[in-house]
Amino acid sequence: MSAPSASGLPRGDGALPASEAGAFGVPPLALGAALLLWAVRADALVPGVVFAVVVELARLVPWRWDLGARDFNRVADLTGLGFVALVVYQFDAHSVRGIYEVLRWLPAVLVLITAVQVYSTADRVPYTALFLSVRRAVARGAVPDPGTVDMRKPFLLVCLVSAGSGSMDDRALYLPAVALIVAYVVWSARPRRAGGWTTAAALAVAIALGFAGIQGVMAARRAIEPFIMELVQDRIWNYRDPYRAYTAMGQIGRLKLSERIVLRVTPAIGVPPPGLLREATFHNFNTRLWLATQTEFAALEPNAEGTAWRIGATPPSQRHAMIAAYLPRGRGLLAVPNGTFQVEELPVEDLLRNRLGVLKVLQGPEVVEYRARYHPDASYDPPPVDSDRQIPERLRGLLADLSTSLGLDAARASDSAARLQSYFDREFRYTLELTGPDDDTSPLEDFLLRSRAGHCEYFATATVLLLRAAGIPARYATGYSVQEWSELEQAFVVRRRHAHAWALAWIDGQWRDVDTTPAVWLDLESAGTPWWLSGYDLLSWLRHGWVRWRWTETAEGANALLLLALVPLVLALAWRLSRRRRVRRDAAPGRAAAPARVAGADSELLAVVAALQARGLAREPGEPLGGWLGRLSAAGALPEASLVLDVLLPLHRRYRHDPGGLDDAERTRLRTLAAQWIARHGTSG
Amino acid sequence: MSRPAVTVQPDRGEASVALHRIADNIEQVVRGQARAVRLLLCALVSGGHVLLEDVPGTGKTTLAKALARSLHADFQRIQFTPDLMPADILGTSVFNQRDQSFEFHPGPVFTDILLADEINRASPRTQAALLEAMGERQVSLDGVRRPLDELFFVIATQNPIESQGTYPLPEAQMDRFAMRLSLGYVTPEEEVEILGAQSSGHPLERIAPCVSRDVVAALRVAAEAVRLSDEMKRLIVDVVGATRGASGVRTGASPRASLALMKCGQALALLEGTDFVTPEHLAEVAVPVLAHRIVLEPEARFSGRTGVSVVREALAGRIEAHD
């Protein structure tokens, strides 16, 4: 074998890197291309271009750094710190979405160690640098040679994946670019025996399979996403917008029902619960949208303790109910029965109310429990205004005709409401199937004239507008219907699917609930009760208990809780540190005890070896000293090769391994000659 | 144990010269296989047997014959076939009508150098007969123990590419070979030389014995006298022990392997003309001595791990630690 292997050669003296496209190497410009693709996709043009130039320029510069394992450890540690900082920062800034941002910026973190590798004399980064566990194992002696990795390969992969983490809008650029780069890398590493056509065909098949796979993943994603969205929306549902309510009127499909428990109602003993809990009230209708315009919220004045808010004067008779609700991010609308004149025990800063009687919390805990005192037949909402009488232009004729034919009359408002109720009960059907109009008739017209079937939003909207057509002020209310008694919780539970809409009518100087949706709706909706519901309810109850406990703790308590959570972490860390120290302590006496006598361990040739290794002259794992020195000599990298090989090495060998050892003259010779060699060549590297 | 009288008692320098003379003699015939010749001589001197694993036509038989001729030793060759019986190797007793007695006809195993060609083609029973003879250096037949020649040296060959109709040697039997070698293809220049050398008769015909067969016995004695420090013994045990605990290994190398590694290291030191064993010697013989004794887990085997890679990993770090 005449050609020396590349890894033992010094690269520092002007030699260019050895052939880059080895069997599994990264071919020239592939890294640069991947970095540029990343730069475009991740919207990081400047850093991307700089990185690409830095990484690719290594092929042209004639020098290399001499780096040892310890230097790589430092760079890897720095990279690790950078990664941790990136994770902390991105998750802090973007919450869950931070994972995409971390992925997006990962190349910027990893570019450091990759660049250090390409500018160093080492072709590869030792695993000891990358994994602390490997470092420990090596220190323990469990792994004599942990091996090395060419960082360019994982880095290339990270760049491509990271480039894909952007939006999928411009897949037209991304996928072909990735296919091209990967094809280039694979092509340059193809086996020698494989013909060009075979490789090309295999690549084409692989790329086609890849594209098909992506289509499959996208299809799966489309199928799964609605479920996930439903889960996610649990978080935002409760924050109902007090200014607008989008109805599902006119949509096609089937309303999705959720079993999630949103409210828990405990009425006073022996008293029925309030039938409807209102969250929001609206008065302006626009095709399929209910709005509450010009309804600014104003803070209510709390009592002296700051936990009770009075809305109206105390009536002669009253009822009360405890209501537990979730307020995502500490804000939201309070669900209360119509006729609520006082809200108590509410642990929030401010309670706001608008002129439609909607109650809003701006800052509070995520779970609240409050007592609503109410009179079932009274209302404390402010009296009607003009907008409570308005009817959309387009529907005016239809509604006026219908209202007349039904005999609705503002003078007999109570009777009119009852008539409407029986009319809808008789002539209409409740359904969750959404069937939109097939022409340009509005959803409401379609509901009243053709389909005569719909869900509560249709009934409530039609009722409000018909009442208004008869001259009775009316509003649209949304909230929940209280139906289900839970033995487990000893309370009424209100699920997401109990969400309801109904009308408020101004009858005899009071706002009254007018619910015209056929009563069958509840049966219909509970018909689909899933088998897992009881288990789900149990979990839901436990979760509620946990959240409530967490939020009723004082702030100090919460901090103490956090500290408590930190305790096992600190203990684990301390344990690891103590163990590590113990390993070191054990190791030292162990080493001293193992061989009774390491003969000749003070041989000066070992200093020559150290000097050569400090020059970055690598040694194959398991390569004997003589073989290595011979190889260096053949490559011209060993100064005064004949002195080292023919004089020092034989002396050293005898000193170290011959039980006979050296005599004094020879020992002195070894010492002097090695010292001279070091004096001439030891520090120049 | 009685040893025949040794006519030559070479010192270290002479031993090295003698070995190099044999090596040069063989290399007149077997071109471009200096490393294999070197290791073959190591095995011969260490008293172990050799398994040559290589494709046909790489010169296995020629190598064995050249060695036999160089030593002026007896040479026998057995072509292993599925119908080969133990008696075909060991010999058989034939009834002599005239003397009214059984007469022992020794088999080819009673020789100095035995070439067991394609050993994996014979049935396990026949293989076992040979391997027992190799281990014990004697043959028990009809209740009579017949010692084999003192020099007795087996070169078995095995074809790694054909598996149909073969009986792979059991792992336990592999352990009986001191070394497994492969010759490999020579360089094109050397192949041209081979063609040239064969143009006028086979060069094997032309080589003459260069040492007497007694020299081998003397070399074996000399090899046993090569010094081995405690540190090197420790290195041997460490490397062999490391093959036992390595990942993907079902059975590592045995203490017999440690012994073989030591003897081969001593033999190589003798060949090199040094009178003590260094890590270089052990590193050079470790793979041929240990690799074939390592039994891998099937998963490791299918993922491309080999005995050779296990031994290389066992050497990594340990050799450097004993610079």
The residues, any chain, with a CB within 8 Å of residue A293's CB and separated by 6 or more, are A243, A283, A284, A387
User: Torsions phi, psi of A289, nearest 5?
Assistant: -130, 130
**Cβ of B234 under 8 Å from any chain A Cβ?**
yes
Mean pLDDT across chain A? 78
Q: Is A144's CB within 8 Å of B313's CB?
A: yes
B107 interfacial to chain A (CB closer than 8 Å)? no
What pLDDT sits at residue A604? 83
Residue A595 touches partner B, C-beta closer than 8 Å: yes
Mean pLDDT lowest for which of A330-339, A412-421, A608-617? A608-617
- A624 lies within 8 A of chain B by CB: yes
Nearest chain B Cα distance for residue A622, angstroms: 4
Q: What mean pLDDT is predicted for residues A473-484? A: 89
Contact across the interface for B231 and A144, Cβ inside 8 Å: no
Q: What pLDDT was estimated at residue B50?
A: 92
Task: Tell if the CB–CB gap between B320 and A599 is shorter than 8 Å.
Answer: no
Of B284, B316, B322, the CB nearest to A145: B316
> Chain B partners of A623 at a C-beta cutoff of 8 Å?
283, 319-320
Closest chain A residue to the Cα of B286, Cα to Cα = A622
The C-alpha of A599 sits at a distance from chain B's nearest C-alpha, in angstroms, of 8
Closest by Cβ to A622, choosing from B228, B230, B283: B283
* Contact at CB, B232 and A654, closer than 8 angstroms: no
Q: Chain A residue with minimal CA distance to B235? A: A595
pLDDT given for residue A556 in this prediction: 47
CB contact (8 A) between residue B276 and residue A660? yes
Output phi, psi for A425, to 5 deg: -65, -40
A661 and chain B in contact, CB less than 8 A: no
Of B227, B242, B314, Cβ closest to residue A659:
B227
**Digit-coded pLDDT (tens) for A93-122:** 776 777 888 888 889 888 888 888 888 877
* Residue A1 near chain B (CB below 8 Å): no
- Comparing CB atoms, the residue among B228, B229, B316 nearest residue A622 is B316
Preferred mutation among B276, B305, B308, B312 to probe A, highest tally of A CBs within 10 A: B276
List the CATH code of the domain at B8-212: 3.40.50.300
- Alpha helix segments (H runs only) across A553-678: 555-593, 605-614, 625-634, 641-642, 649-657, 664-677
Which of residues 118 through 157 in chain B touch A, CB cutoff 8 A?
A: none
When pLDDT is averaged across residues A569-587 and rounded to a whole number, the result is 50
Q: Which residues of A touch B315 (CB under 8 A)?
A: 621-622
Distance to chain A for B47, nearest Cα, Å: 23
Using a CB-CB distance cutoff of 8 angstroms, which residues of chain B are in contact with residue A659?
227-230, 276
pLDDT in tens, A209-235: 988 888 888 888 777 776 776 666 555
Q: Measured between CB atoms, does A657 come within 8 Å of chain B?
A: yes
Tokens linked to A21: 């496209």
A621 touching B (Cβ < 8 Å): yes
Complex ipTM over 0.85 = no
For an interface test with A, the pick among B12, B280, B305, B311 (most A C-beta atoms closer than 10 Å) comes out as B280
Contacts of A596 in chain B (CB under 8 A): 230
**Worst-scoring range by mean pLDDT, A158-162, A583-587, B261-265, B309-313?**
A583-587
**Segments of chain B with pLDDT less than 50:** 1-9
CB contact under 8 A, B227 and A599: no
Nearest to B319 among A596, A624, A654 (CB): A624
Residue B264's pLDDT is what?
94
Which site among A2, A657, A662 would you substitute to test the B interface, given the most B Cβ atoms closer than 10 Å to its Cβ? A657
pLDDT in the model for residue A171: 65
Q: Mark yes or no for CB contact B227/A658 under 8 Å.
A: yes
User: Which residues lie closer than 8 Å to A672 by C-beta, 6 or more apart?
Assistant: none
Confidence of residue A168 (pLDDT cuts 50, 70, 90): low
Q: What residue spans define the domains of chain A?
A: 8-189, 244-528, 605-682
Q: Are A468 and A391 contacting, i.e. CB atoms less than 8 angstroms apart?
A: yes
Instruction: Report, as an integer, the average pLDDT of A592-601.
Output: 53
Instruction: Kindly identify which residue of chain B lies nearest to residue A654, measuring between CA atoms.
Output: B276
Q: State how far residue B233 is from chain A, nearest Cα, in angstroms.
A: 11
Interchain contact B185–A (C-beta under 8 A): no
What's the gap in Å between the CA of B73 and the closest CA on chain A?
A: 34
Which residues of chain B lie closer than 8 angstroms to A658, CB-CB? 227, 229, 275-276
CATH (residue range B226-323)? 1.10.8.80
| pLDDT the model gives residue A253 | 57
* DSSP-derived secondary structure for A533-560: HHHHHHHHHHHHHHHHHHHHS-HHHHHH
Share of chain A above pLDDT 70, in %: 81
Question: Which B residues in the span 267-286 are in contact with A, Cβ-Cβ below 8 Å?
Answer: 274-280, 283-284
Segments of A205-362 assigned E as strands: 244-246, 253-254, 261-267, 276-282, 284-286, 289-291, 298-299, 309-310, 319-326, 332-333, 340-344, 351-353, 359-361
How many Cβ contacts (< 8 angstroms) between chains A and B?
81
By the CB < 8 Å criterion, does B293 face chain A? no
Give the model confidence (pLDDT) of A21-38 as tens digits.
334 568 888 899 999 988
Apex CA B243: angle with CA B242 and CA B244, to 5°?
A: 90
Averaged pLDDT for residues A515-524 = 80
| Per-residue pLDDT band at A560 (split at 50, 70, 90) | low
The confidence score (pLDDT) of residue B240 equals: 92
Q: A256: pLDDT confidence band, cut at 50, 70 and 90?
A: low
CA distance B227 to chain A (A): 7
Q: In the prediction, which pLDDT does A519 show?
A: 78
> If you measure CA to CA, which chain B residue comes closest to A627?
B280
CB contact under 8 A, B280 and A624: yes
Residue of B nearest to A603 (CA): B323
Beta-sheet pairing, A319-326 with A351-353: unpaired
Mind telling me how many Å the CA of A646 is from chain B's nearest CA? 14
Q: Which DSSP letter does residue A96 get?
A: G
pLDDT at A606: 85
Q: Is the pLDDT of residue A584 over 80?
A: no
Give the CA distances from residue B146 to residues B6, B106, B138, B322, in Å, rounded to whole numbers and listed in that order: 22, 10, 6, 45
Position B289 scores a pLDDT of: 93
Domain map of chain B by residue range? 8-212, 226-323
